[in-house]
Structure 1
Amino acid sequence: MLTKPKILVVEDEIIVAVNLGQKLKKLGYDLVGITSSGEEAIQKAEENHPDLVLMDINIEGNLDGIQTAELLRNRFQTPVIYLTAYADENTLNRAKRTQPLGYIVKPFESDQLRSSIEVALYKNELEHRNRKNEESLKSTLNHLESGIITTDENGLILFCNPVAEKITGVSYAECIGQALSKVLKLEEANTSTFNLPVSEVLSANHSVEKNGVFAVDGIGNKTQISINISPILNSEGKASGTITVLRSGELDNINQSYLKEIHHRIKNNLTVISSLLSMNASNLKDQETLDIFKDSQHRIQAVALLHEVLYENHDLSSISFDLYVKKLTDLLFEVYKVDREKFKLTLDIKASRIPSEMGMNCALIINELLTNSFKHGFKGKESGSIEVHFHKDEDHYFLEVKDDGVGLPDPLPQTRGSSSLGLSLVDSFVKLLRGKLILENANGCRVTLSFPA
């Protein structure tokens, strides 16, 4: 049996407090105490470790509800929902700074109480998982033998690991919020200044790599490094920042186990996010919203699959594309419950090993196109076929995905500026590959992509 959530009530109106306690018990929660002062609330929190505190803003004692909530959060990471009948703007602004998980306005009904508590508990669990994931990822980055620096969309530094501190000669505290170009000063072999193309990476959404440059610290010490700067893309495929990797000459043969561990942890983190989406989707009644949640979950699973394949690789710079596409299509057949006896899949992957980033972009295009086939292309059909072809000539790669379904709507949709999230994502991935995409109806839907090798 699942443990009941433990709730502490801090309320100095005794009748309101008793009534609230009775409602909580009827709703199935474990009431671990009722108190009227902030000092007693902190003591009971230390003794009982509640999952949530329902806190009146105006309480007796030396501490008001807001001060008490701040202490509870700082000492025990205990989440709070404020109870209030009225609060002026200054009080509410103070309350916001303590990051409450909600407000309940008095008087309230049991249904409102339950919904506020359940949302707050869910948000707190999500925040807890995110904190653990961030701490885990930060710990991994701090132990890498390469320098790592991340920036926001303006090129201002958000994070740097100890190796980056050593290379630049600038401490973590000093570099946060500074422009990357100000902290990371580079020279080429002929002592001419090398300027990192941060704006180019952010605007063009592609990586830049440079070998044999020198990082110069504040006192003139030089370290020969290779450098790679790549965009960090948001869910819309737009650059929300950059990640810069610095490898000194002695680290060109970087410890693969650290990189494999990163892929393993990212895959696990994505699996957690997918599970959280699935849990939340089970409470949705609206079919359109439910479909959006499920599509997002499947996209996350596709990316997690990439990190699984990379984790199994010996060479992390490239990927077994035929293996990845095989695993990806198996996953799609499973999640969309497609009968493989009635709907045939042909995979013709002639360029089996390609760079990892390129492989991910191609596979995510395949993911969107096959998802479209399963959801729309075969609507009303009892059987069908899908073909995926991939090959390379001297200068270009070619990807073709086609089905014999109902085809695309007429007139043919445009990927750029499309109202369809799937097509918008395809357009973003095509841009990253600097490719050309053609959509056409030919006894079904056929999509062809070519991009430079």
Structure 2
Amino acid sequence: MRNITSITSIRILIVEDEGIIAQDMQDCLEDLGYNVIAIADTGEKALKKVAETHPDLVLMDIRLKGDMDGIQAAEQIWELFQIPVIYTTGHSDKSTLERAKQTAPFGYLIKPFEERELYVAIETALRRYQLEKQLKEREEWLQTIFRSIGDGVIVVDTKYCVKFLNPRGESMTGWKQHEAIDEDLTKVFNIVHEKTRSAIENPVKEVLKSGSLFYLAPDTLLISKNGTEMPIDDSAAPLKNQKGEVVGCVLVFRDITERRQAEERNRALERAKLLEKQMAELQRLNDSKDEFLSTVSHELRTPLSNIKMAIEMLEVVLARQGDLFANPTADPSPAVRYFQILRDQCERQLNLVNDLLDLQRLNADAYTLTPTEINLQELIPHVADAFEICLQSNQQTLEVNISPDLPSLISDSSSLTRIVRELINNACKYTPPGEYIAVNACALPASEDTAKKEILQLSVTNSGVEIPAHELPRVFDKFYRIPSEDRWKQSGTGLGLALVKKLVDYLNGSIRVESSNRQVSFIVQLPFNYEKV
């Protein structure tokens, strides 16, 4: 409807079935300065005229001829066109008034009425209409804002009854607005503590009590109508009237699932960065350690070699001067025993230094390989023969089983020799008296896992001992020794198996250890034809 700026611009439709009364009303209105755009004498004609002219106000006689009386016509005019209606009637019985009240008219005049009464009724109706129109527009504007907000919004009154629920609130709570209206808030807005699962007191209660803004505690879960759970943040603010009295509360809540996920991603990223820094620091420390070991090994190797040579020369000199070393079958003198201790310990330290240097070269990819054709039927028994005295001393049995049709191997002979020697030596150290050691070599058929190439499988098995399952992954670690009742009973540095693992990897092979039924097996697989990767 257009804004009303003056009386002359106000357009009025008169609905009256008495011609003389209608004319009098027109004359009166025009005398007051109003613009009468038409007169209708039935409800049907009134609806037609309203549709054609769109007046600002309708003066409606309640008692009209025809099938539609004034009250029915007024209902349709308001429903279809939202135009205010003032009833005029000569009847003021209670039943008629009750019917008229149901249509919420903007005025009610009893005939006959004075010109001033008519003027007051019209101006009052138009003013009320303007105020209600502004109020409605404001409500629609507020509802549009609430509907457009990305957070859930619930408005409640002082009795905790829901009066408004926006679309986002509908999707989060699982309630439609028409279902939630006048429902208790705790039924629509069901919240619990995420960790304890206990119910949380609704924030609206605190807001209505204190009249100030209130926030939900952390770790709050909203449980929707269908049982879906989501973490939320929430704030509740009081609604106050012009007197400052709290008349309700606005609850604003949001789903923080994505925020939590983003925070978790950030925490994971921070952890990854920290781990990366720690790994870099560990690598630096490891490099420093390897460099230190390499430097120390080089520094130790020369003096140890000189000590070994001096021991050997001293033995020769003393042998020439007397019979100190002349009769090996006789009980050795203290001097001979001391020389043997010196020789053994010097050899042990040299082996440690050599192992450290070889590991360092393998780690630095500076280990030199010379692939040659190797006859395994000759190499393996030759390596095993060197342990004959040790085996007799320990009361152990060694079996060597090599397939007679095993083809020659193209690989590094010194590396393979060292692998076999170290595995047999390790077996000798840990095999109890009366038990056996078995060395087996055979060819495995080609398969998808071996890139369709035949490979060599070499295994060294010893009986009478078993490695706990939780210790197996650490067997090839540097300086690691399998726990026993007396960890110093067996000699060794804990570098032998680590060196074996590095050499096998360097030869493009694999090694694994298996242990069960009081038996330990080291299984090496190598390509028959070594190719540098």
State how 1:47-62 maps to structure 2 within 5 Å.
47-62=52-67
* Structure 2 residue 123 is the aligned partner of structure 1 residue 103: no
1:69 Cα deviation (Å)?
0.4
Counterpart residue number, 1:203 = 209
RMSD: 1.7
TM-score w.r.t. the length of structure 2 is: 0.46
Q: Which amino acid aligns with 1:52?
A: L
SS of residue matched to 2:72:
helix
* Structure 1: distance between partners of 2:44 and 2:259: 57
SS of residue matched to 2:183:
coil
* Structure 2 residue 154 is the aligned partner of structure 1 residue 121: no
Q: Which amino acid aligns with 1:43?
A: K
State how 1:184-199 maps to structure 2 within 5 Å.
184-190=189-195, 191-199=197-205
Maintained 8 Å contact 2:215/2:235: yes
Q: Deviations over 1:129-182 (max 9, x none)?
A: 111111111111101101110011211011010111111111111101101111
Q: Which amino acid aligns with 1:241?
A: G
1:240 Cα deviation (Å)?
0.8
Q: Which amino acid aligns with 1:77?
A: Q
Counterpart residue number, 1:145 = 150
Query: Any unmatched runs of 5+ in structure 2?
Result: 261-533
1:189 Cα deviation (Å)?
1.7
* Structure 2: distance between partners of 1:32 and 1:251: 62
Counterpart residue number, 1:218 = 225
Change (3 A) 1:247 1:72: same
1:87 Cα deviation (Å)?
2.4
Q: Which amino acid aligns with 1:209?
A: Y
* Structure 1: distance between partners of 2:44 and 2:89: 19
* Structure 2: distance between partners of 1:61 and 1:86: 18
* Structure 2: distance between partners of 1:252 and 1:17: 70
Counterpart residue number, 2:247 = 240
SS of residue matched to 2:65:
coil
Maintained 8 Å contact 1:7/1:32: yes
Which piece of structure 1 moves more, 190-199 or 126-135? 190-199
Maintained 8 Å contact 2:92/2:110: no
State how 1:302-317 maps to structure 2 within 5 Å.
none
Q: Which amino acid aligns with 1:236?
A: K
1:25 Cα deviation (Å)?
1.1
* Structure 2: distance between partners of 1:47 and 1:134: 29
TM-score w.r.t. the length of structure 1 is: 0.54
Change (3 A) 1:104 1:189: same
Q: How many residues align?
A: 253
Counterpart residue number, 1:157 = 162
* Structure 2 residue 8 is the aligned partner of structure 1 residue 24: no
Counterpart residue number, 1:39 = 44
Change (3 A) 1:226 1:12: same
Which stretches of structure 1, 4 residues or more, deviate above 6 A after TM superposition? none
1:208 Cα deviation (Å)?
1.8
* Structure 1: distance between partners of 2:155 and 2:231: 20
1:97 Cα deviation (Å)?
1.5
SS of residue matched to 2:9:
coil
Change (3 A) 1:84 1:213: same
* Structure 2 residue 172 is the aligned partner of structure 1 residue 167: yes
* Structure 2 residue 87 is the aligned partner of structure 1 residue 71: no
Change (3 A) 1:131 1:251: farther
State how 1:29-428 maps to structure 2 within 5 Å.
29-190=34-195, 191-210=197-216, 211-249=218-256
Change (3 A) 1:248 1:10: same
Maintained 8 Å contact 2:188/2:225: no
Q: Which amino acid aligns with 1:160?
A: L
SS of residue matched to 2:91:
coil
Q: Which amino acid aligns with 1:192?
A: S
Maintained 8 Å contact 1:146/1:251: no
Q: Which amino acid aligns with 1:157?
A: V
Q: Deviations over 1:302-354 (max 9, x none)?
A: xxxxxxxxxxxxxxxxxxxxxxxxxxxxxxxxxxxxxxxxxxxxxxxxxxxxx
State how 1:428-439 maps to structure 2 within 5 Å.
none
Q: Which amino acid aligns with 2:111?
A: K
* Structure ranking higher on relative contact order (CA contacts 8 Å, 6+ apart): 1
Change (3 A) 1:252 1:97: farther
Which piece of structure 1 moves more, 210-219 or 66-75? 210-219
Q: Which amino acid aligns with 1:47?
A: E
Change (3 A) 1:48 1:189: same
1:125 Cα deviation (Å)?
1.2
Maintained 8 Å contact 2:88/2:111: yes
Change (3 A) 1:251 1:164: farther
1:219 Cα deviation (Å)?
2.3
Which piece of structure 1 moves more, 55-64 or 1-10? 1-10
Q: Which amino acid aligns with 2:152?
A: G
* Structure 2: distance between partners of 1:110 and 1:251: 68
* Structure 2: distance between partners of 1:178 and 1:114: 45
* Structure 1: distance between partners of 2:20 and 2:258: 68
Q: Deviations over 1:48-86 (max 9, x none)?
A: 001000011111111111111000000000110010222
Report the structure number with the largest CA radius of gyration: 2
* Structure 1: distance between partners of 2:194 and 2:205: 24
Q: Which amino acid aligns with 1:57?
A: I
* Structure 2: distance between partners of 1:77 and 1:10: 17
Q: Which amino acid aligns with 2:183?
A: Q
1:13 Cα deviation (Å)?
1.6
* Structure 1: distance between partners of 2:258 and 2:185: 22
Identity of aligned residues (%): 37
